[in-house]
Amino acid sequence: MQSIEPLDVSSLADWDGPSRVLVVEDEDLIREMLELSLQEEGYQVTAVADGRAALNLLLGEGESGGSFDLVVLDLMLPQVNGLDLCRLLRRQGNPTPILVLSARSSETDRVLGLEVGADDYLTKPFSTRELIARCRALLRRQRQSYLPQPTVLQYKDIELYPQQCRVVVRGQVVNLSPKEFRLLELFMNYPRRVWSRESLLDRVWGPDFVGDSKTVDVHIRWLRQKLERDPSHPEYILTVRGFGYRFG
């Protein structure tokens, strides 16, 4: 299968055009509502009804194909389902923010969506106001990530390359989800600083995030599994009881 090229951000720092949003939703009424609502906010919207069409666009095929600033993705899709599409994008190194839409509201389903690489998860039915707020938050964080960054952050045997979205642990490349990467980057920028769960949610998920602080605990557990020699006795990401977490 053709590889999905990572988003080229080399010239986006000074780019002030409308954000490009790809909406992938098979229910006609919801897709039309999403398209209209986002267009009214000034976004350039492309809407498709199945996962295969979305994949073709993300591969750059067709007049509307190419890079997008945000993907609004339903999970229950024909051709290629949303989870598989999300998983494929992340495996190919595509960092485009993904907002998942789903009628499944259980904690297991939300965690699964985040685990395969989604940046946020919105349960149906949802209000247009909340949808727009979450889209704004994801796009804002994406724009901030284009600001000049250090070439490499290093702490003991962990190396993090912000511009490449790459992490090397004890000489081995480690694959992190977007949220895991942002958490680690924040930790490494402020070693030994204690962060509350609420502070981490605000800095990594954004002030518009609506969800449980347990989301932080889940991502910390995943990070430890990928970074620590012994996740049950961490040496990097430490729990500060009654306060939160610190790095180093």
Residues 84 and 174 in one domain: no
Kindly state whether residues 169 and 91 are assigned to the same domain.
Answer: no
The label of the residue with tokens 């962060």 reads 195
Domain that holds residue 231: 153-247
Instruction: Give a yes or no: residue 235 inside a domain.
Output: yes
| pLDDT value of position 42 | 92
| CATH assignment of the domain containing 214 | 1.10.10.10
Residue 102 is assigned to a structural domain of this protein: yes
Look up residue 191 and give its two tokens.
């070693």
How far is 208 from 133, CA to CA, in rounded Å?
6
Taking alpha carbons only, the member of 129, 124, 113 closest to residue 219 is 113
Does 62 share its domain with 119? yes
Residues 134 and 196 in one domain: no
Taking the whole predicted model, whether its pTM rises above 0.75 is answered as no
From the CB of residue 181, how many other CB atoms can be counted at a distance below 10 Å? 21
The pLDDT score that the predictor gives to residue 65 is 58
User: Are 130 and 58 spatial neighbours (Cβ–Cβ below 8 Å)?
Assistant: no
pLDDT of residue 172: 92
Same domain, 122 and 81: yes
Query: Which domain-ending residue is among 109, 144, 179?
Result: 144
Do 118 and 186 belong together in one domain? Answer: no
- How many domains does one find in the chain? 2
Structural domain includes residue 63: yes
Sequence length of the chain is 248
Confidence (pLDDT) at 2 = 39
The 10 Å CB-count burial string (b at 16+, else e) for 210-220 is eeeeebbebbb
Q: What is the pLDDT along the chain (248 residues), one digit of tens a residue?
A: 334 344 343 333 334 468 899 999 999 999 999 999 999 999 999 999 999 999 889 887 656 656 889 999 998 898 888 889 988 888 877 888 999 998 887 777 777 778 788 888 888 889 999 999 999 988 887 776 555 556 789 999 999 998 888 899 999 999 999 899 999 999 998 888 898 998 898 888 876 677 778 889 999 999 999 999 999 999 999 999 888 999 98
Q: Do 127 and 167 sit in the same domain of this protein?
A: no
